[in-house]
């Protein structure tokens, strides 16, 4: 793993955990990193807690308004004012497409950043916090953006979902399914067999690329958290150092702790484009 990490010019934190055996490998696992869109995982859980408590209706229609346009031209940005969308649909856009406007809307519905942070504190998380649009966290927002976490706590969040102890067993099962649906297939998933159940969330801005995933094996889930910051190479291509490192570390985890052969080497699909939306998510 160190060989892969050395490819990166920037801060790197890694936490690998075999939930079946308890084996762990760590490098800067308790260092704070920007989460970017990974903060949508605690937002999702705090939101589902409100649904489980009866404070929100999962299928109630929500109405799009002009002030909810974030400006990245993602799906929610394209909704006409007055358009209705169900909470379930909004959650899907937040998680699977990493839609920033959807994420900020869900944060509001969860009670705001302070409410999400309260949920995190109540569940024992001391480092993971929402900063954007959260009174009292302006300094943290300036340093870390939308949210902050550590590789270890990020894996803790995913483990709590898989072990059905985050919100309720039924809600956690739904979160597990939702996090297994993603449009982002070219990073850690690329080097893994296609028949492996994986839940994941990426977070990406120019100088910080991170990914948290949990891979299923008969011997128990494998957690892999790679978080970076202050990257010298901020390119978005398939073979950029950060993307290569994330794919390689996930592949190594599967190779050492997983069960079954690696996916055969293939060319990325669809072909690379010269354009890439920077999903800066600070609000």
Structure tokens at 63: 């109405």
Position 261 scores a pLDDT of 61
- Contact indicator for 226, 151 with CB cutoff of 8 Å: yes
Q: Which residue has the higher pLDDT, 276 or 5?
A: 5
Residue 278 is predicted with a pLDDT of 46
**Please, which residues bridge with residue 103 across strands?**
none
Percent of the chain residues topping a pLDDT of 90: 80
Average pLDDT over residues 143-163: 98
**Residue extent(s) of CATH 3.40.710.10 domains in the chain:** 34-148
The per-residue pLDDT for 168 is 98
For residue range 93-135, list pLDDT tens digits in order. Answer: 999 999 999 999 999 999 999 999 999 999 999 999 999 999 9
Residue count of the chain: 283
How does pLDDT run across 155-203, given as a tens digit for each residue?
A: 999 999 999 999 999 999 999 999 999 999 888 898 888 889 999 999 9
Per-residue confidence band for 272, with pLDDT thresholds at 50, 70 and 90: low
Choose between 256 and 268: higher pLDDT.
256
> What residues contact 178, with CB distance under 8 A and at least 6 apart?
44, 91, 92, 95, 96
For CA atoms 108, 119, 31, 200, give the dihedral sign.
negative
Architecture of domain 1-31+150-159+180-258: 2-Layer Sandwich (3.30)
Structure confidence at residue 90 (pLDDT): 97
Are 279 and 73 within 8 A, CB to CB? no
- What confidence score (pLDDT) does residue 269 get? 73
Predicted pLDDT at 281: 47
- Tell me what pLDDT residue 63 has: 98
Residues facing residue 220 across a β-bridge: none
Tens of pLDDT, residue by residue over 6-59, are 878 999 999 999 999 999 999 999 999 999 999 999 999 999 999 999 999 999
What's the confidence (pLDDT) of residue 11?
Answer: 96
pLDDT digits (tens, 9 = 90+) for 76-89: 999 999 999 999 99
3-state secondary structure the chain: CHHHHCCCCCEEEEEEEECCCCCEEEECCCCCEECHHHHHHHHHHHHHHHHHCCCCCCCCEEECCHHHCCCCCCCHHHCCCCCEEEHHHHHHHHHHCCCHHHHHHHHHHCCCHHHHHHHHHHCCCCCCEECCCCCCCHHHHHHHCCEEECHHHHHHHHHHHHCCCCCCHHHHHHHHHHHCCCCCCCCHHHHCCCCCCEEEEEEEECCEEEEEEEECCCCCCEEEEEEEECCCCCCCCCCCHHHHHHHHHHHHHHHHHCCCCCCCCCCCCCCCCCCCCCCCCCC
- Cα three-residue angle 252-256-261, rounded to 5 degrees: 85
Comma-separated ranges of CATH 3.30.450 domains in the chain: 1-31+150-159+180-258
283 — pLDDT class (breaks 50, 70, 90): low
- pLDDT confidence of residue 260: 60
Q: Which fold has domain 34-148?
A: Beta-lactamase (3.40.710)
The separation between CA 259 and the C-alpha centre of its own chain, rounded to angstroms, equals: 24
Residue 66 has pLDDT above 80, yes or no: yes
Predicted confidence (pLDDT) at residue 247 exceeds the cutoff of 70: yes
Mean pLDDT over all residues of the chain? Answer: 92
Rounded-to-integer distance, Cα 126 and Cα 120, Å:
8
What pLDDT band is residue 266 in, cutting at 50, 70 and 90?
low
Q: What share of the chain in percent tops pLDDT 70? A: 93
Work out the pLDDT band at 2, boundaries 50, 70, 90: confident
């Amino acid at each position: 793993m160190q060989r892969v990490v050395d490819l990166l010019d920037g801060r790197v934190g890694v936490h690998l955990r075999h939930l079946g055996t308890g084996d762990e490998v760590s490098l800067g696992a308790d260092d704070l990193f920007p989460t970017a869109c990974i903060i949508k995982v605690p937002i999702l859980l705090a939101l589902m807690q409100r649904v489980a408590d009866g404070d929100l209706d999962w299928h109630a229609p929500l109405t799009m308004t002009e002030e909810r346009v974030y400006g990245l031209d993602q799906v929610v940005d394209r909704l006409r004012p007055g358009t209705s969308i169900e909470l379930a649909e909004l959650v899907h856009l937040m998680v699977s497409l990493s839609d920033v406007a959807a994420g900020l809307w869900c944060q509001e519905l969860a009670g705001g950043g302070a409410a999400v942070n309260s949920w995190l504190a109540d569940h024992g998380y001391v480092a993971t916090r929402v900063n954007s649009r959260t009174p009292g966290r302006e300094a943290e927002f300036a340093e870390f953006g939308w949210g902050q976490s550590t590789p270890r706590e990020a894996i803790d969040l995913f483990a709590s979902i898989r072990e059905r102890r985050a919100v309720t067993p039924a809600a956690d099962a739904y979160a597990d399914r939702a996090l297994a649906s993603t449009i982002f297939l070219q990073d850690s998933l690329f080097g893994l067999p296609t028949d492996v159940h994986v839940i994941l969330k990426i977070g990406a801005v120019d100088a910080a690329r991170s990914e948290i995933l949990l891979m299923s094996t008969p011997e128990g889930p494998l957690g892999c958290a790679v978080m970076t910051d202050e990257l010298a190479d901020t390119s978005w291509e398939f073979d950029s150092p950060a993307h290569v490192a994330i794919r390689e570390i996930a592949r190594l985890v599967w190779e050492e702790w997983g069960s079954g052969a690696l996916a055969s080497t293939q060319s990325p699909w669809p072909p690379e484009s010269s354009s890439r939306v920077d999903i800066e998510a600070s609000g």
